[in-house]
């Protein structure tokens, strides 16, 4: 039987078996033999060798130069078992919008994307872990491989319900600490809680050698603000309510939201992090396919710039 090329959000949300949903999204995203989105981005130090003219200067070991007054190049071997920590925002703001047959919440969309990425990573022989919050406390699984671990990760995802606040900075820092060696940290959130401290912590995580990727999940309602009448809006995390003439506020809201997304994207790129906007009206398979193709293109460009070793 042919594998469907797309899986709509409503169909994915209706599937009770999260493992099946993850597999369908991954298979729908594949075009040929896709590699893991992180495979090849992290490399482990292998050995030194004397510098030869033409070697990339970024691989010179300046500490060895300072000690010996000789030029040595660091050589790296590709990591065959990469560890990836998936950080999922399960705060109350992710429960928007209310789900219907045609609408999927940010949290459900993010959970399906997290499941699909875990499936893809483990299917390629790498290790995936999960960090999130439940009932006001952090819960996590360390990064491991294998089908049994994948089922445990998916079971944890299936039990999650969005609610409460979200200590984004602590979650990112703790997730990075759980990576015992150089790996990848992928955060999936609306990032409404991101601050200058968040940017600082992400830079620190990257300096430790981890690949940082940020998937910003926003609903089509948040992006377009399709309201025109007088409405009462409620903050899902604080419960604060405010009456608003939506038609009068629409232009200001859209400008502020566009600036927020642009500033967050710009800061991520400035600091060398991978960034993708994931609107919930884009089917998960299509979104994942675009993400894989872009990551593959970035990896290819990186290899070409580095040149032969």
- Mean pLDDT per 10-residue segment, the chain (309 residues): 41 58 72 54 58 66 75 60 92 87 87 92 91 88 92 90 90 93 93 94 94 95 85 74 80 92 96 95 88 74 45
- Give the model's pLDDT for residue 7: 46
Q: Is 149 left (phi over 0), alpha (psi -120 to 50) or beta?
A: alpha
Contact 109, 9 (CB under 8 A): yes
Q: Residue 211: name the closest of 54, 74, 55, 38 by CA.
A: 38
Catalogue all structural domains in the chain, each as residue range(s) with its CATH number: 9-36+81-306 (3.40.50.410), 43-78 (no CATH)
Contact 137, 164 (CB under 8 A): no
What lies within 8 Å, CB to CB, of 167 at 6+ separation is 133, 138
Contact 71, 197 (CB under 8 A): no
Q: Residue 121: name the closest of 295, 2, 277 by CA.
A: 295
- Give the model's pLDDT for residue 233: 77
């Amino acid at each position: 039987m042919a594998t469907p090329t797309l899986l709509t959000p409503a169909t994915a949300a209706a599937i009770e078996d999260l493992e099946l949903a993850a597999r369908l999204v991954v298979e729908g995203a594949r075009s040929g033999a896709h590699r893991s989105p992180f495979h090849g981005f992290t490399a482990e130090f292998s050995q030194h060798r004397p510098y030869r003219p033409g070697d990339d200067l970024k691989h010179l070991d300046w500490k060895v130069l300072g000690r010996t007054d000789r030029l040595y190049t660091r050589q790296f071997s590709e990591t065959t078992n990469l560890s990836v920590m998936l950080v999922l925002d399960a705060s109350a703001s992710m429960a928007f919008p209310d789900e219907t047959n045609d609408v999927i919440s940010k949290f459900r969309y993010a959970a399906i994307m997290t499941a699909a990425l875990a499936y893809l990573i483990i299917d390629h022989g790498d290790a995936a872990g999960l960090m999130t919050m439940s009932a006001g406390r952090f819960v996590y699984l360390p990064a491991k491989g294998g089908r049994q671990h994948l089922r445990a990760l998916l079971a944890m995802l299936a039990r999650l319900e969005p609610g409460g606040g979200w200590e984004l900075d602590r979650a990112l820092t703790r997730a990075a600490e759980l990576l015992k060696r150089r790996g990848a940290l992928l955060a999936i959130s609306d990032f409404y809680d991101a601050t200058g401290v968040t940017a600082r912590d992400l830079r620190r995580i990257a300096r430790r050698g981890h690949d940082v990727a940020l998937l910003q999940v926003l609903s089509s309602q948040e992006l377009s603000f399709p309201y025109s009448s007088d409405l009462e809006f409620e903050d899902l995390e604080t419960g604060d309510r405010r009456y608003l003439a939506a038609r009068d506020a629409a232009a200001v809201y859209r400008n502020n939201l566009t600036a927020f997304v642009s500033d967050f994207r710009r800061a991520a790129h400035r600091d060398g992090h991978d960034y993708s906007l994931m609107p919930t009206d884009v089917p998960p398979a299509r979104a994942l396919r675009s993400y894989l193709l872009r990551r593959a293109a970035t990896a290819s460009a990186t290899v070409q710039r580095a040149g032969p070793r």
